[in-house]
Structure 1
Amino acid sequence: MGAAYSVGEVDQLNTFFVQWSPGMYKKDNNARHQKKSRNLLVKKDKLAVIDEYFQNSMCPIAKSWEENIKILYFANKCLEPYVQIITIKDAVSRRQSVCSSDRGSRSEDEEPEDILPVLRDRSQLLNDHHVQSLASHMPARTQVYPWNLVYSTAVHGTSLKTLYRQMANVDCPVLLVIKDMDNKVFGAFCSHPFRVSNYCYGTGETFLYSFNPEYKAYRWSGENSYIVRGHLDSLQIGGGGGHFGLWLDSDLYHGASYACHTFNNQPLSTQQDFKVQDLEVWTVQ
């Protein structure tokens, strides 16, 4: 790895991207009438110009940026794409264990493992293996965000109404984690927060998963749109064929998981009708 960068050098790099404000770009539908330049770029040209800047720049920070700088470039729906820049050293230091007793010793000469997302709260259900497996299958647009615990039966009690209330102001993807009485961990990643609705909602980013014992993800099959629906007395994820992929009652104590057409999944628990030991919901924002 090349030399580490100073705070000033990273600030210099950040300044370059900060100058790329949304107002400096024309909409795609007007681009054909405009002459492109460094200060007037169509969105699709951004990455090419970023690469060109680093390849041609004479400043020390640009010469070895691929070795030392991690650039996180992404776009969210209805938002201007933006770039977050961190040094590799900082990225490794951000790796946070949610179960420190499970972490083994690592020598300084060993290559770092995949960077885990930052969990701002301690999980009673997830260890590093769970987090790494789930993070690697979540959409790219969620990769740079920390996880926040928005609901936990250990903290908030067992009530679906309370879960909905805790998520009233949430507007981002969520991760549902369940541990049943057989100590099996499973759940769902949902593109939208859980809420009471008269219709099904969610996108194809939603998936079911299970550690039983190996990690297995069940992605949207495209056969129907019965992705998520919230009632006051139950939460339903996936459907078709007369069964839900995952179902929870109003007390978040009784649940069920059957094969369903939405995800072409196998039952997530060892028992199709199960009882909940603990449950957590994490926001990715």
Structure 2
Amino acid sequence: MKGSTLKHGISLRTLIRKSADLSGPCLLVVGDRQGAVFGGLLECPLKPTPKRKYQGTNQTFVFTTIYGEPRLFRPTGANRYYYMCLNDLLAFGGGGNFALCLDGDLLSGTSGACDTFGNLCLAHNEDFELKNVELWGFSHVSQHLT
């Protein structure tokens, strides 16, 4: 694990800075105050863009634990809106809503159904307060991710 709001304070800029030590696929794991755990796979290091420009590949996915068991939502092929990283916003998916969107202070976020992943809301509510944010890197990349 590289970055955690419990250890490193709360800011997307801090998370972006900590992601520089990671390379390849990373798992963003977030939680809401009702106990949901959700997030998505993205590429590290995180590279914020000045404009709303999507990044990622069809390996990107989002997940949640609120439907009784972990649910993974992979790209549907509807678009290529995998994820977007700005200095004050990190968002997965597009078309309808963001599957997951975190604000720059990592205090709150939104989640809704989106065309990119064909997902349901990942959190207990579409607007939520974040309890924790972690970014996990992998030291051995599985052959299934290539």
For the criterion TM > 0.5, the same-fold answer is: yes
Aligned counterparts of 2:12 and 2:109: Cα–Cα separation in 1: 12
Inter-partner Cα distance in structure 2 for 1:152 and 1:255: 16
- Name the counterpart of 1:171: 23
Q: Normalized per residue, which structure has more helix?
A: 1
In structure 2, what residue type is equivalent to 1:218? F
Name 2:55's counterpart in structure 1.
Answer: 201
Amino acid of the structure 2 residue aligned with 1:222? G
Gaps of 5+ in 2: 140-146
User: Which one scores higher on RCO, CA 8 angstroms, separation ≥ 6?
Assistant: 2
Aligned to 2:78: 223
- TM (norm. structure 1) is 0.46
Secondary structure of 1:258's counterpart equals: coil
The AA in structure 1 aligned to 2:58 is G
1:240 alignment partner in structure 2? 95
- 1:133-152, aligned counterparts within 5 Å? 149-152=1-4
Q: Residue 247 of structure 1: CA displacement?
A: 0.1
2:125 maps to 1:268? no
Displacement of 1:270: 1.1
Q: Over aligned residue pairs, what C-alpha RMSD do you find?
A: 1.0
- Which blocks of at least 5 consecutive residues in structure 1 are unaligned? 1-148
| Rounded Cα–Cα distance in structure 2 between residues aligned with 1:278 and 1:231 | 20
Paired with 1:284 and 1:203, the residues of 2 have a C-alpha distance of 17
Q: In the comparison of the two structures, how many residue pairs are matched?
A: 135
User: How far apart in 2 are the matches of 1:180 and 1:214?
Assistant: 16
Which of 1 and 2 has greater Rg?
1
Give 1:167's aligned amino acid: S
Percent of aligned pairs with the same amino acid? 38
- How far does residue 233 in structure 1 lie from its aligned partner after superposition? 1.1
User: Take 1:155 and 1:181, find their aligned partners in 2: how far apart are those partners?
Assistant: 18
Q: Which residue of 1 aligns with 2:39?
A: 187
AA at the equivalent of 1:235:
L
What letter corresponds to residue 129 of structure 2 in structure 1? K
Q: Find the residue that maps to 1:281 and give its secondary structure.
A: strand
Question: Which whole-Å CA distance do the structure 2 matches of 1:195 and 1:203 have between them?
Answer: 14
